[in-house]
Amino acid sequence: MIDSLHGEVLHVGLNYVVMECSGVGYRATAAPSLLGTLRKGEDARILVTMNVRDDGIDLYAFESDEARQMFAMLRKVSGVGPTSAMAICSIFKPDEFARIITNEDDAELRNVKGIGKRTAERIIVDLKSKATVFDSGDSATEPQSGVGGNSEADADSGVVGTVTQALVELGFPEKQAEKTATSAAAEGGSVSEILKRALRSMSSERN
């Protein structure tokens, strides 16, 4: 089983990263908050989990062990596949997810594309006693996109690009995604916070 990858970042895509480890290139699906911290040509270490299918093996990358545990919990819920689980992990940090489950706030979960009322309720019921492991008070500051000495303008541009890519991956039109991401980023915050703000805005526009 592959537990982590350590090597050179070869490519950062829309929702994935390719890393070379000992001469082998590994592609892993990742959340925008993690992708925003990775730079092509730099060395990095990421935590991963494997999803074995009949026709292949997929890798999913995470910025913390808690996020990886959250993904594993979601995958055990009937009707929640790896794509939906990763979408939830992309929007909510583990402590935020724990709060949602504790408060039985299915409306927050339904902000995630592909999660309907029935699935949201099932997630809450199934994980009610499990997600509390992530509820540890104030969470640590999330790494910002564009780290490594870039200017504030470059960092802001990187955040907008990362959030735009995440919204497009979730099924929103690119032009609308970029406009909403730019507006949400103007209020500041981490990639995760900006993504949630943008997602709420776009979801309300659809209603």
Query: What is the pLDDT, as a whole number, of residue 165?
Result: 75
Domains for the chain: give ranges and CATH numbers: 4-62 (2.40.50.140), 65-134 (1.10.150.20), 152-206 (1.10.8)
- What single string gives the DSSP state of each residue in 95-153? HHHHHHHHTT-HHHHTTSTT--HHHHHHHHHHHTTTGGGG--SSPPPPPPTTTTT--HH
pTM for this model (two decimals): 0.70
- What phi and psi values does residue 44 have, to the nearest 5 degrees? -150, 160
Q: Give the C-alpha separation, 74 to 49, whole Å.
A: 13
Query: What is the pLDDT, as a whole number, of residue 184?
Result: 86
HSE of 141 in the Cβ direction (CA atoms, 13 Å)?
4
DSSP 8-state class, residue 74: H
Q: Give the C-alpha separation, 47 to 41, whole Å.
A: 19
Query: What is the pLDDT, as a whole number, of residue 166?
Result: 76
Query: Helices 94-102 & 117-127, crossing angle to 10 degrees?
Result: 100
Per-residue pLDDT in tens (0 to 9) along the chain, 207 residues: 889 999 999 999 878 999 999 999 999 999 888 888 899 999 999 999 998 888 889 999 999 999 999 999 999 999 999 999 999 998 888 999 999 999 999 999 998 888 999 999 999 999 998 888 887 554 444 444 333 444 444 446 677 887 887 777 677 788 888 888 888 888 887 777 788 788 778 766 655
In the chain, how long is the greatest CA-to-CA distance?
A: 49
